[in-house]
Each structure stands twice: as structure tokens, then as C-alpha cells.
Structure 1
Amino acid sequence: MKPASQKISVIEKIGYSLGDLSANLIFQTLMTFLAYFYTDVYRVPPAAASAIIFAGGMVGAFFNPVMGAIADRTKTRWGKFRPWILWTAIPFGVFAILAFSTPNFGENGKIIYALVTYILLVLIYAANNTPYAALSGVITGNMAERNSLSSYRFTAVMVAQFIVQVLLLPLVLILGDGDRTTGFEKTMTIFAVIGVIFFIITFLTTKERIIPAKEQESSLKQDLKDLSKNKPWIAMLILTVFVFITLALKNGMYVFYFKYYLSEPHLAAFLDNYGFNGFIDGLNSVLVSMDLHGFQWPEDAPTSGFSLFNAVGIIFMIIGIALSKSLADKFGKREVFGFGLFFSALFLLVFIFYSPTAVALVFLSQILHGFFYGLTIPLLWAMIADVADYSEWKNNRRATGIIFSAMVFGLKAGLSVGGALVAGILAAFGYNEQLLVQLPETITGIKLSVSIFPTITFMISVACLFFYEINKKMEVQIENDLISSRK
């Protein structure tokens, strides 16, 4: 393996992170709003929406290992992984716009259109994000630098998450002048243009430094054989599936939780008492003074409450991200990841005890959940990069692309199952988008989906870490041994 400089510049870290900001403008929208978009905006029946999200997502999930094998065998003057970010940039933007467009078809036509455009989007996402994820494993072999790169990357993810979870619904209402169908199309067009530009910047500012020597090249059969014996990889694959089931399920259900469960008068009083309404009134006054009457914040309490709920969670996630690297450097990635995931699960569990009027407790739990989950965010992909190093250390062969593609498969599978669960649970518990007040059993399903169900799936992920043997001591040993062999 060719020797490589271990240090990477801040410019390269920022450039790399912009790629995840771009992808997450779309990914976070899928995770948080796809079920809502299908059921309440495009008017696809909940059961059909569940089937679309599951079937389309699994098509994309199974394409990821194929894409990983293709990327590992790509040979260009730009490297194996960087060119895919460039080649897929524009198609990614186009398919994102199509997936959130609302042509006026009948019910069957809507179902077919939604399924086809969603499949196209997840396929191009795999072709873009699998090489992007693998790129982090070959930019540097220094594990401290890799932790730092992950921190930059997932700070960018938090920026995208803030934009989507806090600002998307208000943007949809503002840009659509109250029409959510038009608003979604315009908002996703803006996201797509930004995404294409940022993907190109990622391509231009990054460099692949860990280049396998020719004698390390292997067949796909050998790569799969190596994976089957890689216990940390198996543990991380299962963990990734259940983490993203959790994220897709709870994030997708929160919009319904605010719309149908929490007491609107108590939510409005909370927003007023804690100064949010005053802040928005001031913001709207500034916009009016600038003749921007069309950009005033929507007035309904569920939209504002949902946005503020996501905002405080993301702010405290960023605090967790900021502390994650130093804690991981001291105690090891596995230990910090497990600690953060366990306590973030506990602060989901408490939602089952809250009444519709307990608005302050809902926000406090979101703050604590966000902080502890933030500790885990930069570590997931850094641990997967460590798994690629572990495979090379054990087998003297590096297969970065297929290892990362398998984890992106886990991500996509989790997203598909979790997203399908949102629509499926709504259908099973009698959800009717035409009703202003849902049935008691529907409310029960919504409440379970933001408390008990995601706690179970997070705890399964915690259990997987008992089979992930790369502790702090082994991290150091692997890094030192690989530095010596690469020289």
C-alpha cells in the first residue's frame, strides 16, 4: 500500500463535509417527511405509502453492495470513489425534485409515480453515497484525524438536519403560499440546486491517499469471504439497521405527534411563555419592513412547536458532537457510542408517560435525548472505517467500498423499514388524514411510535456493541501495525 500523509487540511475536511450536507438535505427529508408527504400532501393511502417506502427502499438497499463492489474496482486518475460523487451530482438533484413532485394522477397513477420516482432516487443515492462514505476510509489512515473528519462531517449533517426538521415545513407553507404541494416542489428544487453545487465542491477539494497496492487486489468472492469472518463488521451492520429503523420511525412520527397528540392550546401557551412567539413576531416585523410579506412565519402552533422541538434537539446534538471526539480519543469509540446510545434511548422511553399537556417535559426530554445521541453521531462512520482497517489488518487486503456499502445497505434497510413502519402503524391504528381529531387507537399508535418502539430498537443496537471487539487498545494496535505495513 502506498504511503500517505496522515494530516488533512481544514479546507479538505469542510469540502468533504459539504457532500454529506448535500445528501442529507434529501436524506433527512425522506426520513422525516416522506410518509407525511405521501399520506397528507400527495394523498396516497397509508397502506400503499408503507408498501412504497419499504419496497422502494429495499431496492436501493440491495443495490448498495453492488455499488460498493463497483466502486472498489473503479480506476480513474481521480481515484476509486471521488468520481462517483461528480458523476451522480446532477442526476441526484433531478430525481429528488421528481420524487417530491405531485402530478395530478388517479390513485393508482399516484402510487405508480411515487414508487418509480422513489426507486430512482434511492438508486442514485446509493451510487452517490456509498462511494462518498467509503471516501472517508481512504482520505487518511490516522484514526485521530478520522475522528476529526467525522466531527466535521456530522456537524454538516446537523446543519442539514436543522434546515430540514426546523425550516422545511415553514418553507413549504411560505413558498407554496399555503399550498403544500407547490411548496414541497419549490423547496426541493432549492435543496437540489444547493446539493449539486456542494457535491462538486466535495469532488474538487478531497483526495484519496490510501491506495491499495496491486498485490492486495482481490475478487468479489474473496471480499465476501473476508466479510463473513469479520465479527465487528457483522455487529456494525446489525447495529446500523436498528439505529436507522429508530431514526426513521420516531422522526417520521413526530409531525403526527405534534399535529394530533399534543394539546394545541398548551403548546401555544408554551411557545408564548418561552418567548418563541415574541421572537417570531419580531422576525415577521423585520420581513414586513423589508417588503417581504410573503416570507412571514406560519402562525399555527403545531408547525411552530414541531420546528422548535427539532431545533433544540439539534442544538444539543451539536454539543454532543463537539464532545464526542475528545471522549472517543480518551475512552474509545465503542465505549462512548454505547454510553450515548443507551441514555438517548432512555429519554425516548419517557415519552410514553407524558400527557398531551406536558409540553415542557416533552421539550426537556428532547434536549437530553439530543445531547446523548449527539455523542454517537460522528462515531458510527468512524467505527465503520475502523472495521475496514480491521479487515486489512486481519487479511492483508483492503475492500473499503464493499465494507461501507454494506453499512449503507444497513442504513437504507433501516430507513425503509422505519419509514414503512410510520405509514404502516398509521394504517394499522386507523389513521384517516381527513379527520381533524384522530381516533383514540390512532393516538395510541402515534404515542407508542415515539416512545416504546424506538426504545426497543435502540437497545438492540446497544446489545450489538457487545460483539464489536475493536476497543481503544485494539484501535491503537491496528493503526500502528498498518502504518508500518504501508511504509
Structure 2
Amino acid sequence: MSDNTTHTLQQQNEYHKLTLWERVSYGFGDFANNLTFGTVGGFLLLYMTKVNAIGLGIASIIFAIVRIINVVWDPIVGTFVDKHTSKAGKYRPWILRAGIPLMIFALLLFAPLPFVKGNVAWAFIIYFIMDLTYSVVNIPYGSLNASLTRDAESVDKLTSTRMMLANGANLLVYTLFPMFVQMASPKDNHLQDTGLFGLKLSLGTYTDSSARNAWFSVYLVYAILGAIAFFLCYRFTKERVVATAEQTAQVKTTDIFVELKNNRPLVILGLFFMLAFTFMFFMNTVNGFFNQFVVQHSPWMGAIGLVSSIPGIVFPIFWPRLKKIFGKKGFFNFFLGMFVVGELLIWFGQ
């Protein structure tokens, strides 16, 4: 086979039309990541302070220290991944190499062991390791997206599919997780209104130390689901757009900082996402406290989570069409406007 023929076949392979199963398989990675990131981000602080008897100030410091370390850790991970490859690919292997340990470390955060209660060192070390491991999964996973295909239509559909699965995981996390934990919590367990169309369930106090086994048991199921999802993502995706050895050799840890220095649009985009994700993480973290101590009706946690999850599952179906109507910038502004209006309604509706 001539070099020209090989090059042509490679180009055709890079513009491969992704099948529905390939898109779903990739989206399983988002599903698994959100089962971990959503649960830890949305409920770990509540668990640490109300169930595991760690002071709010100490817990906040733990979170802050780990976030600061991430600023340095993430570029190191990205560079290392870009410079190494294997027979299984450059990005795919990390989904299993780090994905399964990620689920284990996340599960250990809710371990109902006697010495864990109130143990600041344990909480810090396990959360620290888990968060570093999350980067080792999520950074290669994000890069895998661009290596699946260059076909623009497939990329648009892939984005919609992965967001549907990501928000499907959010549904499990923000709607069902607190409900399942309350159902398994022994203290004051009695029939209560869930806020879901008159549905009443036997719910207990999930912010009491007696609920430690309930938290662990429910998250154990989620961890198993996440591990299966990571395996499916690894098994049924294929890297087609691969960097050359010359391109890989030029990658440096400092590249991102050089780009930030010279690329003003990237700086603006980076600042936007920093603010957006900070705000989103803040909202997710305080959500449990808000329902427990402001709304004072924790049984409604599932109902409130359902309301916030449904748009994220439904809207991605229409994203490709909306992009064609509004254009990328108009599409972005449209949903940003919806986000701002929604947050204002929450704020002034308190």
C-alpha cells in the first residue's frame, strides 16, 4: 500500500461518523464522572460536618487546599498524558487505570469505620487522593473527545449525547441519592411527603451520625454503576485522531500558562468558566444545607433535584438544531441568559 493511500485512509478514519452506540459509550464516561463528582461535590461537605462530626471551618479548609493544589496538578497530568501512549491508546487506558481507583477512594470518603468519625487526617488524605485521581481520569477523558473524530456533525451529536448522560447521572445524584439515603437512615424514619406528586416514603434523618451506614451503602451502589460505566466507555470507544510523535514531543507543562499570557480570548473564556463553575459548585455544595436549614424540609431534596435535572436531560436533544438557528455565540448567550434568570429567581424567591 502506497504512502498516499495510507494517508487517505487515515484521513477518512479521522472523519469517521460516530454511531449512536459510540456516542453513548463515550457519554458513559460523563455519567461515571458525575456519579462521583456530583455526589462528592454536592453532599460531601454536608456529610463531613453533620454526619462525620468534622467542623465546618476545618472541612472548608480541606476543600480549599485541595482546590489550590489542583491548579498545579492538572497541567502536570495533562502534559504527562500527552507525552505517553500505549497499545490501547493515549487517553482511553486512563479511564480504567484511574477510573476504578477513583470510585474506591470516593467510596472511602463515606466509610462507616469507627476511627473515621471526626478524623480530619483521614478526610483530608482520602479527599486529596480522590481529587488528584479525578484529574487523572477527567483530563484524558476530556481529551478523548477530540480524538474520536473530526466530523463536525458527529461532534455536535456527541456533545448532546454526553450531556444527556451527564445530566442523567445528575438525576441519580441530586434527586435519588438523598432520597435513597433518607430511606435507609434509621433515626426518626417515618412516612413523609417527598414533594414528588404526592409520593410519600418512609424517610429518616440523614444528617445524623446514625446514618453513616446508609450513606455508604447507597454510594456503594453508585460506585459500582460508575465502574461499569467507565469500563463501557473504555471498551467501546476508539482513538482515531492521533497526534504525531513530533507534536507530542513539543508538549510542555508550561504551555497552558504561555497560552494564557498570549491568548486574550482564551483568558476571557477561562475566566468565564472559572466563575461559572465556581458558582455552580457553590450552589451544589450548599444545596443540602439550604434544604435542611432554610427550607427546613429535607424530604423535598429529591423533588428539588428533579426540577433542576430535567432541563439538563431534555434540552441537549435540541442543541444541534438550536446551534443552527442561533449560531454558536447566540446559542451560548441564549442559555447563559436562561441560567442567569433562573438563578435570580432562586435568589429573590427565597
Interval containing the TM-score (normalised by the shorter chain): 0.7 to 0.9
Against the structure 1 CA distance between its residues 223 and 60, is the aligned structure 2 distance closer, same or farther, given a 3 Å change threshold? Answer: closer
Q: Does 1:38 align with 2:48?
A: yes
8 Å CA contact 1:71, 1:81 repeated in 2: yes
Q: Does 1:349 align with 2:344?
A: yes
Separation in 1 of the partners of 2:81 and 2:124? Answer: 26
Separation in 2 of the partners of 1:115 and 1:222? Answer: 28
Q: Does 1:213 align with 2:244?
A: yes
3-state SS of 1:220 partner: coil
Q: Does 1:86 align with 2:118?
A: no
Separation in 1 of the partners of 2:110 and 2:69? Answer: 19
3-state SS of 2:155 partner: helix
Summarize deviations over 1:45-99 as a string: whole Å, max 9, x none.
1111110111123323431111110111112122210111121132112101111
Against the structure 1 CA distance between its residues 234 and 305, is the aligned structure 2 distance closer, same or farther, given a 3 Å change threshold? Answer: same
3-state SS of 2:119 partner: helix
Letter matched to residue 166 of structure 1: T
Letter matched to residue 344 of structure 2: L
Please show how residues 348-367 of structure 1 align to structure 2 within 5 Å.
348-354=343-349
Partner of 1:122: 131
What runs of 5+ residues in structure 2 fail to find an aligned partner?
A: 1-6, 187-203, 205-209
Letter matched to residue 302 of structure 2: S
Separation in 1 of the partners of 2:265 and 2:152? Answer: 17
Separation in 2 of the partners of 1:148 and 1:61? Answer: 31
Q: Does 1:196 align with 2:205?
A: no
How much has 1:106 moved relative to structure 2? 8.3
Among candidates 284, 305, 312, match of residue 307 of structure 2: 312
Against the structure 1 CA distance between its residues 353 and 11, is the aligned structure 2 distance closer, same or farther, given a 3 Å change threshold? Answer: closer
Among candidates 331, 334, 338, match of residue 333 of structure 2: 338
Letter matched to residue 348 of structure 2: F
Among candidates 33, 42, 55, match of residue 65 of structure 2: 55
Separation in 1 of the partners of 2:101 and 2:323? Answer: 37
Summarize deviations over 1:243-295 as a string: whole Å, max 9, x none.
11111111222222222223x6xxxxxxxxxxxxxxxxxxxxxxxxxxxxxxx
Separation in 1 of the partners of 2:348 and 2:232? Answer: 47
Separation in 1 of the partners of 2:253 and 2:175? Answer: 45
Among candidates 11, 15, 22, match of residue 5 of structure 1: 15
Separation in 2 of the partners of 1:223 and 1:248? Answer: 27
Separation in 1 of the partners of 2:26 and 2:331? Answer: 24
Partner of 1:278: none
Partner of 1:329: 324
Letter matched to residue 125 of structure 1: Y
Please show how residues 17-416 of structure 1 align to structure 2 within 5 Å.
17-105=27-115, 110-177=119-186, 178=204, 179-217=210-248, 218-220=250-252, 223-224=255-256, 225-226=258-259, 228-262=261-295, 302-354=297-349
How much has 1:215 moved relative to structure 2? 3.8
Separation in 2 of the partners of 1:32 and 1:117? Answer: 17
8 Å CA contact 1:89, 1:128 repeated in 2: yes
Separation in 1 of the partners of 2:78 and 2:157? Answer: 24
How much has 1:221 moved relative to structure 2? 6.4
Letter matched to residue 208 of structure 1: E
How much has 1:147 moved relative to structure 2? 1.6
Against the structure 1 CA distance between its residues 106 and 78, is the aligned structure 2 distance closer, same or farther, given a 3 Å change threshold? Answer: closer
Against the structure 1 CA distance between its residues 222 and 160, is the aligned structure 2 distance closer, same or farther, given a 3 Å change threshold? Answer: closer
Against the structure 1 CA distance between its residues 140 and 243, is the aligned structure 2 distance closer, same or farther, given a 3 Å change threshold? Answer: same
So what's the TM-score if we normalise by structure 1?
0.61
Separation in 1 of the partners of 2:214 and 2:262? Answer: 49
8 Å CA contact 1:96, 1:121 repeated in 2: yes
Task: Give the aligned CA root-mean-square deviation in angstroms.
Answer: 2.1
Summarize deviations over 1:7-51 as a string: whole Å, max 9, x none.
111111111111111111011112211221111111111111110
Summarize deviations over 1:365-389 as a string: whole Å, max 9, x none.
xxxxxxxxxxxxxxxxxxxxxxxxx
Summarize deviations over 1:349-372 as a string: whole Å, max 9, x none.
2333335xxxxxxxxxxxxxxxxx
Please show how residues 442-461 of structure 1 align to structure 2 within 5 Å.
none
What runs of 5+ residues in structure 1 fail to find an aligned partner?
A: 265-301, 356-487
Letter matched to residue 290 of structure 2: Y
Letter matched to residue 233 of structure 1: L
3-state SS of 1:332 partner: helix
Against the structure 1 CA distance between its residues 60 and 192, is the aligned structure 2 distance closer, same or farther, given a 3 Å change threshold? Answer: farther
Separation in 1 of the partners of 2:20 and 2:116? Answer: 51
Summarize deviations over 1:189-233 as a string: whole Å, max 9, x none.
111111111111111100111112334341416844455433333
So what's the TM-score if we normalise by structure 2?
0.84
3-state SS of 2:114 partner: coil
Separation in 2 of the partners of 1:226 and 1:252? Answer: 31
